[in-house]
Amino acid sequence: MRQLPSAPPSRTSRRPARRLPPDEIRAAIVEATIRIIGRGGTAAVTHRAVAEEAGVSLSSTTYHFASKAEIVDAALRQVAANEIARVEATTTAALEHVHDIDSLVDLLTAWLDDQLADEWLVVRAGYELQLEAERSPELEAAHAEWGTKVQELSAHALERAGSPRPREDAHILAALIDGLRLEEITHPRPGVAERNRPLLDRLLRALVAQS
Amino acid sequence: MRQLPSAPPSRTSRRPARRLPPDEIRAAIVEATIRIIGRGGTAAVTHRAVAEEAGVSLSSTTYHFASKAEIVDAALRQVAANEIARVEATTTAALEHVHDIDSLVDLLTAWLDDQLADEWLVVRAGYELQLEAERSPELEAAHAEWGTKVQELSAHALERAGSPRPREDAHILAALIDGLRLEEITHPRPGVAERNRPLLDRLLRALVAQS
DNA sequence: CCGGATGCGGTACAAACGTACCAGGACAGG
DNA sequence: CCTGTCCTGGTACGTTTGTACCGCATCCGG
């Protein structure tokens, strides 16, 4: 995700920085964890696996995080933040071009297709972590905020597309996309856009037409 | 799930059967596994935990199943079979009463509410196992059959309710319900029926009205 | 230039894991 | 009743796990 430039830390630029700043180590560990969860589920998360994936030593994982649960917590938060940022970016960048149903269908189809193409592991990890979130109250908050944010932005988009009841429809749309995405994740096949565009088209057209 | 009568095994009915028939042992192990997955995810599945939950000895789990993966496989198959049976039962018993949108909304709302009330753990386990299914080709088949069956029955119901495009709408409806159910599972709150009925109502009304 | 503080690599260890083994109890066929 | 087969309970073993520890390398303020 965040690709910090590998420039030297502060003033002296002679040698390649042997020691990375702690924030980057933390970020590397968290992102490695997300990839591992995406590939093998939360069961595959071990300190050793994370350390190897992140390219750090075993001690780093225990030094920067008090326990394994804390690593998983951080991973969920990162995925949620990531998803919010993505939705927000898509929205603010493209929402002004949404003025009817077709343009919204285009936007959603492209969003779904892109996400499944180049963030497959992250999406997968997101579902694993959602299920995990229910078991820990503090994660529940992050998860709930994620959902709320997505629905707000969906409602905004639906309003621009002409929905008569944007908030209710946002709930429907968000749940539908979640269900479709889960299906694509658990049963991966080519042709994501072709398969889902007609469904989104039909749903949005029906909702907007309905009083 | 399947509640075999606890009648004595064959002819002699004097003592309470000390040894259960192997099928029942297997079933007990599988159902214990489903409960454990529902509570703690696939990471919580260990031979020892399963044995204790099922009330059998550790050896039984290794005797009846060649490995831990095989236990998880059987659990997914059972959940899928369970879900198919439930959908089928609901359908055949109540579909004849479906003749308009209201009755279908009633049916779906009750189905959702009931399932989340008394099969919470199984539903939860179902999502965990769906994610697991993608990693093993043989499970993918069982998972795909599950999805196909659900969509067939949904299409049938939608046809009776007056949908102009039952197959396409079945895909939408199934994905929506899956998304709503996942939301309820990961963020449990009271008022399932009240929250979801308006959404189902709005969706179905819009789909049926649309050409 | 240098000393305290910070973070890392390597190693260590107890607990829990999957799985294998074995002696014995229960059952079916005769 | 006996005998072979099937299944179980208990135990054992090697591996992997989470976590703790301990010197040493690196950095920053002076």
> How many CB atoms sit inside 10 A of residue A137's CB?
8
pTM: 0.88
Q: Does the CB of A22 sit below 7 A from strand D?
A: no
Chain B from 22 to 81: CB within 8 A of any A CB: 40-43
Among protein residues, the one whose C-alpha sits closest to the C1' atom of D28 is A10
CB of B60 nearer than 7 A to strand D: yes
**Can you give the distance from the CA of residue B11 to the C1' of nucleotide C29 in angstroms?**
15
d(CA A71, C1' C11) / Å: 23
In the structure, how far is the CA atom of residue B9 from the C1' atom of nucleotide C30, in angstroms?
21
Question: Does B144 contact A at CB distance below 8 Å?
Answer: yes
Q: Contacts of residue B188 in chain A, CB cutoff 8 Å? A: 134
Quick check: A40 CB within 7 A of strand D? no
Q: In the numeric block, which tokens belong to residue B2?
A: 């399947």
Amino acid identity at B84: I
Alpha-carbon distance of B22 to B31, in angstroms, equals: 14
Q: Cβ contacts of residue A38 below 8 Å, gap of 6+?
A: A120, A121, A122, A123, A124, A125, A128
Domain ranges (residues) in chain A: 11-208
Closest nucleotide to the alpha carbon of A44, via C1': D17
pLDDT (tens digit, 0 to 9) for every residue of chain B, 211 residues total? 333 333 333 333 333 334 566 788 999 999 999 999 999 999 999 999 999 999 999 999 999 999 999 999 999 999 999 999 988 888 887 778 888 899 999 999 999 999 999 999 999 999 999 999 999 888 899 999 999 999 999 999 899 889 999 999 999 999 999 999 999 999 999 999 999 999 999 999 999 998 7
Tokens 């071990």 correspond to A46
In three-state secondary structure terms, B67 is coil
- Give B150's Cβ-side CA count (13 Å radius): 22
Distance of alpha carbon B141 from alpha carbon B80, whole angstroms: 11
A11-208 carries CATH number 3.50.30.20: no
Short-list A31, A34, A81, CA closest to A56: A31
